[in-house]
Structure 1
Amino acid sequence: MGVSGCGKSTIGKLLAEELEIPFFDGDDFHPKVNIIKMSSGQPLTDADRQGWLETLNELAKTQLTKSSCVIVCSALKEAYRHTLSLGIEAATKWIFLNGSFNQIYNRVNKRSNHFMPSDLLQSQFDILEKPKDSIEIDISLTPKDIIKTLKENLMDKSEIGLFGLGVMGKSLCRNLARNGFKISMFNRHVAGVEENVAKDFKAQYSDLSKAEAFDDISAFVNSLQTPRKIMLMVNAGKTIDHVIEDLLPHLSGNDILIDGGNSNYVKTKERCDYLKSKGIHFIGAGVSGGEEGALKGPSIMPSGDAEAYKYIQPFLEKIAAKDQNNLPCCTYVGPEGSGHFIKMVHNGVEYVEMQLLAEVAIILKTLGQNPDAIANTLERWKATVNSYLLEITTVIFRKKEGDDWLVNKILDKAGNKGTGNWTTIASAELGVPSTLISSALFSRYISFYKDERIQLSKGFDKGDPSELRLTTTELLEAYQFARIINHYQGFKLIAEASDKFSWNLNLSEIARIWTNGCIIRSTLMTDLVEVFKSTTNILTNTDVIKVVQQTKKATKKVVSACVTNDLVSPALSEALQFFNGITTPYASANIIQAQRDYFGAHTYQRLDDDSGKRFHTNWI
């Protein structure tokens, strides 16, 4: 790009020949009316250019389906460049040929058989808006030197960088490389602890043969095309902030940092604001799928600057899992930390799904099933309630070590990395009753008190579980019921946060990107994609209502049997209790409000007064 006469056609042709890709001169695509207008000495208006710019944009899109191309075009305004690169922002690189008016005026006067006279050159300088993100070339250089500079700046640099080569970082590197992207990989150097991590990783896998490996930050950053796109795959918390500070001295304006870890959404917003003041874009991207998902296709939940997202969209969408319609399980979620928020809720829902399966397994064990039999039961359930977690739990119960099942040898203390805790805190702060998530979280906390559990078990008698009288069908229905309540609560929390923070989140689209690649993918999630197209409350959907009504009786029987036989079933029980509470038109809260007014004069409202007036009673 550049004003007429700057040498666009000459340099464009040479570059295309060097890269062995097609060349197109934008002037050849002007409609006849534009050529006549310019030939008569009249400058084009924005309206004159619009159709021409759209034509060139379609040309670029078509060429990108084949490989690539070089297009030369004046593209003097930012608005023109926006139209030209619409939908292909990340695949577009601008080369700005810059020179003085006198220098270019002399060139224009020397060329022959061109429809634009030199008298119009000033009008082009008048509207020229220099691009922020471009390779700027001084036209005083020789064509040979210009092409050499372009190759050094454009073709030999990586498209995206990965910072941090833990389990997820390594898998994402291989995923990007397998999808044809040239990447740079960085891992810190700690003498005697972490040495040559990136280089050794590259040497280990043939699909990384074209990747660049670094343990020096400056060299890593300089290996990337501008605007630089760097995905941070390091531990959440202060580590992210330290990494950002380490990177900042090496970054340039409009570079993009992507936090692909499980960061707290509040911190993501703070980092967005902080980096914006530095001229750097920040994207918070939740990534779900574990090691295998990151390698083969995860679910990705990016949020932050919408314009900056366009530059990383092709990378994230290409490596993401695909839904049943072959669309990427990746979507721009919304502003600020909304992507990390829904990833946090995803993990909260995941806690509950895992807890429910654990409770179901204990009940089946109490009914006399060994791990193989439990696996067979869960296998049969796939026809009705299939999910990734159900599938892996089936595999877990089949795994043997020696003559015994491995699951029987695993210590019953469940860990967590904090996202369930964050979800519970967020629920409390927003005033949303995500009771199942907190129940699943506290069940993990209880499990960690192993020594105390053993001690206390000796002092209290328990019921005889042999009296348990349940069928696997009843248990399946209770499991169905509880999962619906879990998903209701999870999406309710997302909807309330969306309203609170004005994020305008699309629940159907969120459910869609959770139908594959992520840990909570399931047939239920696939059903919810359609449900959320007409409601934000799944308990108002007629199909969901039907399932809840059909399964509630069995749920009551299962929960009652567990209570009677001293079987621990907090998630199954809470699902029923919550459902009863959320469907009770007149609750016991009137008594609590009276108590609050008694001891604290907190006042109350009356059922027989709809004015909103508050009352206080002297109760003595």
Structure 2
Amino acid sequence: MKKVIFIMGVSGCGKSTVGKLLAQELDIPFFDGDDFHPEANIKKMSNGQPLNDDDRQGWLETLNDLAKKQLTENSCVIVCSALKQKYRDTLSLHIKTETKWVYLSGSFDQIFERLNSRDNHFMPSELLKSQFDTLEEPKDALRVDIGLTPENIIKTIKHELMNTSEFGLFGLGVMGKSLCRNLANNGFKIAMFNRHVDGVEVDVAKNFKTNYPELSEASAFDDISAFVASLQTPRKIMLMVNAGKTIDFVIEDLLPHLSKNDILIDGGNSNYLKTKERCDYLKTKGIHFIGTGVSGGEEGALKGPSIMPSGDLDAYNNVKPFLEKISAKDKNNLPCCTYVGPEGSGHFIKMVHNGVEYVEMQLLAEVVTILEASGQNLDQIADVLDTWKATADSYLLEITIDILRKKEGNEWLVKKILDKAGNKGTGNWTTIASAELGVPSTLIASALFARYTSFYKDERIQLNNNFKTETTSDLNLSTTEILEAYQFARIINHYQGFKLINEASNKFSWDLNLSEIARIWTNGCIIRSTLMETLVEVFKETTNILTNPEVITSIKKYKASAKKVVSQCVLNDVTASCLCESIQFLNGITTVNSSANIIQAQRDYFGAHTYKRIDDDGVKSHHTNWN
């Protein structure tokens, strides 16, 4: 991968000398940024006047253009003071993944003495103080002490930038392997680690490397110390291991080998509360921690997932070029990766993503059940669902069609699968978080409990014998009505999911951007859909999709079909828990005067919990002796 190496630091630190030597050593072009200053800038500095940001902007853009042009042909070295972060942002605009920074660090006295010993330097040494005052030391650069000899400085730079890896991935399960290949395919030099367990996991990383040509430049390890030492500083290590205690064990194993400002990225499905604890803990060690939701499954991780990072913003900016490069791209070719917010907000929205996913899967399962009960076989149902792509397309709809068409011999494969649905805990966490935040995410709970019910296979068989009913195919439903009921329930599901995210954002002061979250869910992730693309625009105007005029129109259009489908399912003993709950929820959330007054009276009767009255605007608390 071609790179532009920027050598930066205050005037007098030796940038030009080091840059020329490095370029010669690497046999690549060298450019001195000072040679590209416009005449006005040179005249100003010669007169003892410091440049301001307006003076520098055009110069920085010129150097950025130079870097981009050079990268089309070869790597190069450019020396430039680049004292502020915003200057460095301009210099690396659109080429962040190809940019490497070397910061030549020295004290004021060291550099002042050097400047005074120089002949014909156009910037007087008196301006050195203004440069130190301006300097914002980079956090993502290789820091080299100018006290070293030029030869040793070159050796250090070569070792750190040319012989070490840019990014480390810890854990080579299904997702970890796919992400490694994704990173390598995007030109990154990576280090891969997998533990060694005698007789169980032996040479996993090395064997994985040999199986894929794109990993030829990757480094493979089963020794933690060697793995960490192989990485450029500040080190960037993504953890792809099982959520829970395993993450904590891995962190403790890594800590003795890490240095201040290294960055750990947890790319698993961790609980957002634990992510906050880990952020706080590692901060005391000088280590940054980024909790990152990753969605897309094995294929998404390989070809481009949706990525949801959170934590320290400065630390994220150091890994942003890597994560954005490997992520999926939306319809405008923007990365489906964005900084979500602080603490564990990235893992929170990934958790909710999975909760919404539970419902989307359950709704499609219910639709298939209804169409089967109407007398259609799986090939016919697949054909029906295929026509739905015109108005209700989604990744899950597409894979469900493929599943229904898959056969072993003359039999449908899905008919041979045991009807016990598993789960890895995120639906459970979403339901718990909903209860803790007081948000009625009822469809997610229904989908979760439908999975739990499925697991009681033996009891279901026993109770079927006790309560067996005559099955009928008299559902009297058209495919259009079933489609509209499905679309109705999906809108309610997305309302509830984003409602939960918004309430958490308010509760924890995360300031989450719902439109941006919807945008990064338009590609790469499991719940990508045309509905999600619509919500990107809806959330630019509101945080409540049920207040959007177009959504209101759709709900009103689909509700009659939803009511009919649910009614027919109830009358014909067809299980459709999420479809049923979608109607019940909308009825509840749109009821002005609910039955909760009875609940409050009951609570006051047996527990003296008090109640509010509508005739005093709910200001005072009241208690009645009811008997």
TM-score calculated relative to the size of structure 2 = 0.93
Per the alignment, residue 61 of structure 1 pairs with: 64
Counterpart secondary structure, 2:341: coil
Per the alignment, residue 252 of structure 1 pairs with: 259
Indicate whether 1:314 and 2:321 are aligned. yes
How far does the alpha carbon of each residue in 1:484-519 deviate from its partner, in whole angstroms, 9 at most, with x for none?
111111111111111111111111111111111110
Q: Give the counterpart of 1:228 among 235, 254, 267.
A: 235
Per the alignment, residue 392 of structure 1 pairs with: 399
Per the alignment, residue 51 of structure 1 pairs with: 54
Equivalent residues in 2 for 1:26-37 (5 A)?
26-30=33-37, 32=39, 35-36=42-43
Counterpart secondary structure, 1:287: strand
Q: In structure 2, what residue type is equivalent to 1:54?
A: Q
Change (3 A) 1:103 1:262: closer
Per the alignment, residue 5 of structure 2 pairs with: none
How far does the alpha carbon of each residue in 1:41-72 deviate from its partner, in whole angstroms, 9 at most, with x for none?
x463xxx2423543454245334534254332
The offset of 1:17, in angstroms, is: 3.3
Q: Give the counterpart of 1:173 among 176, 180, 183.
A: 180
Per the alignment, residue 143 of structure 1 pairs with: 150
Indicate whether 1:470 and 2:473 are aligned. no
Indicate whether 1:25 and 2:11 are aligned. no
Equivalent residues in 2 for 1:336-485 (5 A)?
336-485=343-492
Q: Give the counterpart of 2:509 among 502, 506, 518.
A: 502
Change (3 A) 1:105 1:266: closer
The offset of 1:378, in angstroms, is: 0.8
Q: In structure 1, what residue type is equivalent to 2:406?
A: K
The offset of 1:201, in angstroms, is: 0.3
The offset of 1:279, in angstroms, is: 0.9
Q: Give the counterpart of 1:540 among 547, 550, 574.
A: 547
The offset of 1:473, in angstroms, is: 1.4
Counterpart secondary structure, 1:95: strand
Indicate whether 1:72 and 2:79 are aligned. yes
Percent of residue pairs bearing the same amino acid type: 74
Indicate whether 1:593 and 2:600 are aligned. yes
Q: Give the counterpart of 2:193 among 179, 186, 208.
A: 186
Per the alignment, residue 237 of structure 1 pairs with: 244
Is the 2:374–2:474 contact (alpha carbons within 8 Å) kept by the matching residues of 1? Answer: no
CA distance, structure 1, for counterparts of residue 318 and residue 141 of structure 2: 13
How far does the alpha carbon of each residue in 1:327-372 deviate from its partner, in whole angstroms, 9 at most, with x for none?
1111111111111111100000000011111111111111111111
Is the 2:304–2:328 contact (alpha carbons within 8 Å) kept by the matching residues of 1? Answer: yes
CA distance, structure 2, for counterparts of residue 77 and residue 466 of structure 1: 72
CA distance, structure 2, for counterparts of residue 501 and residue 284 of structure 1: 16
Is the 2:64–2:90 contact (alpha carbons within 8 Å) kept by the matching residues of 1? Answer: no
CA distance, structure 2, for counterparts of residue 139 and residue 602 of structure 1: 72
The offset of 1:541, in angstroms, is: 1.2
How far does the alpha carbon of each residue in 1:293-352 deviate from its partner, in whole angstroms, 9 at most, with x for none?
000111111111111111111111111111111111111111111111111000000000
Counterpart secondary structure, 1:184: strand
The offset of 1:102, in angstroms, is: 7.0
Change (3 A) 1:559 1:37: closer
Larger deviation, residues 128-137 vs 517-526: 128-137
Q: In structure 2, what residue type is equivalent to 1:143?
A: P
Is the 1:89–1:311 contact (alpha carbons within 8 Å) kept by the matching residues of 2? Answer: no
Q: In structure 1, what residue type is equivalent to 2:493?
A: N
CA distance, structure 2, for counterparts of residue 409 and residue 103 of structure 1: 76
Per the alignment, residue 288 of structure 2 pairs with: 281
Change (3 A) 1:189 1:517: same
How far does the alpha carbon of each residue in 1:448-493 deviate from its partner, in whole angstroms, 9 at most, with x for none?
0000111111111314323322111111111111111111111111
Q: In structure 1, what residue type is equivalent to 2:35?
A: D
Change (3 A) 1:112 1:400: same
CA distance, structure 2, for counterparts of residue 558 and residue 216 of structure 1: 58
CA distance, structure 2, for counterparts of residue 541 and residue 380 of structure 1: 27
Matched residues, number: 616
CA distance, structure 2, for counterparts of residue 588 and residue 524 of structure 1: 33
CA distance, structure 2, for counterparts of residue 277 and residue 90 of structure 1: 29
How far does the alpha carbon of each residue in 1:421-448 deviate from its partner, in whole angstroms, 9 at most, with x for none?
0000000000000000000000000000
Q: In structure 2, what residue type is equivalent to 1:58?
A: E
Is the 1:478–1:555 contact (alpha carbons within 8 Å) kept by the matching residues of 2? Answer: yes
Is the 2:64–2:93 contact (alpha carbons within 8 Å) kept by the matching residues of 1? Answer: no
Change (3 A) 1:108 1:604: closer
Give the superposed CA RMSD.
2.3
Q: In structure 2, what residue type is equivalent to 1:374?
A: I
CA distance, structure 2, for counterparts of residue 138 and residue 548 of structure 1: 65
CA distance, structure 1, for counterparts of residue 283 and residue 166 of structure 2: 22
Equivalent residues in 2 for 1:563-574 (5 A)?
563-574=570-581
Indicate whether 1:218 and 2:221 are aligned. no
CA distance, structure 2, for counterparts of residue 481 and residue 137 of structure 1: 60
Change (3 A) 1:615 1:176: same
Change (3 A) 1:2 1:554: closer
Unaligned runs of 5+ in 2: 1-7
CA distance, structure 2, for counterparts of residue 462 and residue 518 of structure 1: 40
The offset of 1:136, in angstroms, is: 4.0
Q: Give the counterpart of 1:163 among 153, 161, 170.
A: 170
Is the 1:89–1:310 contact (alpha carbons within 8 Å) kept by the matching residues of 2? Answer: no
Counterpart secondary structure, 1:466: coil
Larger deviation, residues 582-591 vs 464-473: 464-473
Is the 2:612–2:618 contact (alpha carbons within 8 Å) kept by the matching residues of 1? Answer: no
The offset of 1:271, in angstroms, is: 0.8
Is the 1:164–1:187 contact (alpha carbons within 8 Å) kept by the matching residues of 2? Answer: yes
Larger deviation, residues 434-443 vs 500-509: 500-509
Is the 2:268–2:292 contact (alpha carbons within 8 Å) kept by the matching residues of 1? Answer: yes
Counterpart secondary structure, 1:162: strand
CA distance, structure 2, for counterparts of residue 381 and residue 2 of structure 1: 60
Indicate whether 1:197 and 2:201 are aligned. no
Is the 1:133–1:254 contact (alpha carbons within 8 Å) kept by the matching residues of 2? Answer: no
Q: Give the counterpart of 2:530 among 511, 523, 526.
A: 523
Q: In structure 2, what residue type is equivalent to 1:606?
A: R
